[in-house]
């Protein structure tokens, strides 16, 4: 799995190093949701294939014609369409977002890894990995510091209880000795 900050988890289907190609799949089975929400700008990744601009339309009624609603994004009271270009937006629709991706929606596309091929720049990828590794190391170090502090606090508490019980025991022994001394 690989986690993208602005989307979440995507599964890694394959990694090829020459040419540099990463094929992902969406465990939620909605690749068009990935296209809608995944922003690659802050990553070293780019789409592997040539992309075009497509616009998501959210419509309150079903549109007739050749457009097919995207099932995983649509519901009973709204229909989400994916269009390359449009001249007039129907009054029952609103533009959600325009994104650069490979292809328009088709019910024939059933594999949720289709289109999720990414390439990367070696230098950018190394920087990206090092940045993530730095965050992970920092998190581990902070966690270890917290564990050590908790152990020290618990240790000092146990030591204090032990010393208190020991002093009570010694005081009790002194009182017994004084009582015996007075009776002599």
> Confidence class of residue 78 from pLDDT cuts 50, 70 and 90?
very high
Domain residue extents for the chain: 2-120
Q: Is the peptide bond before 19 cis (omega within 30 degrees of 0)?
A: yes
Q: Are 13 and 27 in contact, with CB atoms under 8 Å apart?
A: no
Tens-digit pLDDT profile for residues 20-69:
888 898 888 888 888 888 888 888 888 888 788 888 999 999 887 777 88
Cα angle at 13 between 7 and 15, to 5 degrees? 100
d(CA 96, CA 67): 16
User: Is the pTM here over 0.85, yes or no?
Assistant: no
- The residue whose two tokens read 């594999």 is 111
Q: What tens digit of pLDDT does each residue of 115-142 get?
A: 688 888 766 555 555 555 555 556 667 7
* Predicted pLDDT at 60: 94
Res 7 pLDDT > 80: yes
Q: Which residues of 93-103 are buried (b: 16+ CB within 10 A; e: fewer)?
A: beeeeebebbe
């Amino acid at each position: 799995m690989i986690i993208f900050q602005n989307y979440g988890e995507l599964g890694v289907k394959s990694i090829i190093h020459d040419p540099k190609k990463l094929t992902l799949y969406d465990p939620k089975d909605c690749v068009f949701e990935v296209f809608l929400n995944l922003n690659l700008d802050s990553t070293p990744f780019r789409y592997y294939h040539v992309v075009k601009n497509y616009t998501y339309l959210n419509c309150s009624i079903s549109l007739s014609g050749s457009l097919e609603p995207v099932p995983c994004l649509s519901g009973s009271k709204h229909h989400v369409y994916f269009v390359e270009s449009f001249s007039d937006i129907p009054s029952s629709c609103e533009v959600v977002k325009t994104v650069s991706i490979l292809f328009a929606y088709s019910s024939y596309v059933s594999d949720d890894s289709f289109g999720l091929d990414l390439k990367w720049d070696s230098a950018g990828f190394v920087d990206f990995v090092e940045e993530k590794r730095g965050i992970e190391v920092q998190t581990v170090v902070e966690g270890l510091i917290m564990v050590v502090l908790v152990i020290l606090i618990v240790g000092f508490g146990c030591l204090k209880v032990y010393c208190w019980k020991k002093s009570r025991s010694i005081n009790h022994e002194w009182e017994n000795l004084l009582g015996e001394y007075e009776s002599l």
